[in-house]
Amino acid sequence: VSVLVPLQSCQCLAWKPRPIVAWGAESQHVVAGYSDGTIRVFSISRTEMELKMHPHTVALTAIAYSTDGEMILSGGKDGLVAVSSPRTGMTIRVLADHKGSPITVLQCTRKQYRDFGVEGGELWLATSSDRRVSVWASDWLKDKCELLDWLSFPAPASPEGLSSLPPSLAAFCPWEPGTLVYVGFGMQKEALFYSLRKKQVVEKISLPYFATSLSLSPAARFMAVGFGERLLRLLRCPASDAQDYAGHDDAVHLCRFAPSGRRLLTASHSAVLVWELPGG
């Protein structure tokens, strides 16, 4: 399936979450963010564009659906985060908390009301390249969006001769509710587990290099970390077992577990690999 968008490059992509009730092939949609600040929603079954929105004035760098698929969160190179409705085509909210630093990650997860003393049916996080992570509780149908936590991770001065710093990446931990994992350029090469309830780092896992990609399995206690040194590390958490795999021709810039957790997709400059998980 291919849909041409003239003169624009696609910067980020997200699948619409599967609805609770299976609607069949017609519910298969992806949203893509482009270099001109536009968002386009595509139907996979009909192989056509269904909606185009323009919530940003700069290139998009991250995009995600809300957990119910009713909203699209998008982040730009200027650090602004927009919340848009694919039903109406309108942008309902713009958040400027990360302004000035490109958004590197947007992720949403379901939560129960009053889990953290705030209203909202969903938690979501935004990460920017200046090593800051914001965590929000939201209920978009009630126009509620409340900042739950704000994290800022220290780092030394940029090393001489390094053209670009490793990305700042964060993800909610599927097997530890109320916990997120962060990797990025910092004082140490490590993955940090941060508890939103305790407001502190509760676990540190040492890494051989600074990470360039991160994914946590939704089905088991596995974490995949990619590195610029053409290496993929698969960790069983707590960090009792770690296995390294070569095979990439360049930096492993993408790790993504399948929803089943049984397969892992990784990508580098000119190679896409699919891995079968041990015991999967």
Report pLDDT for 18. 76
**Predicted confidence band at 102 (pLDDT cuts at 50, 70, 90)?**
very high
Examine residue 238 and say whether the peptide bond preceding it is cis (omega within 30 degrees of 0).
yes
pLDDT (0 to 100) of residue 160: 63
d(CA 202, CA 189): 16
In this prediction, residue 279 carries a pLDDT of: 61
The tokens of 258 are what?
């399948």
Cα(first)–Cα(last) distance of the chain, in Å? 29
Band (pLDDT 50/70/90 cuts) for residue 46 is: confident
Instruction: Tell which wins on pLDDT, 217 or 159.
Output: 217
DSSP state of 25: G
Q: Which helix (H) or strand (E) holds 231?
A: none
Nearest-angstrom CA–CA distance, 104 and 131? 10
Whether pLDDT at 19 is above 70:
no
Give residue 114's Cα distance to chain centre.
Answer: 24
Three-state secondary structure along 41-86?
Answer: EEECCCCEEEEEECCCCCCEEEEEECCCCCCEEEEECCCCEEEECC
Average predicted confidence (pLDDT) for the chain:
90
39 token code pair: 């968002």
Q: Is residue 238 over pLDDT 90?
A: no
pLDDT tens for residues 110-150?
A: 876 567 777 778 999 999 999 999 999 999 888 899 999 99
Banded model confidence at residue 164, pLDDT cuts 50, 70, 90: confident
Say if residues 234 and 246 touch (Cβ distance below 8 Å): no
Residue 71 has pLDDT above 80, yes or no: yes
Over 60: is that where the pLDDT of 280 sits?
Answer: no
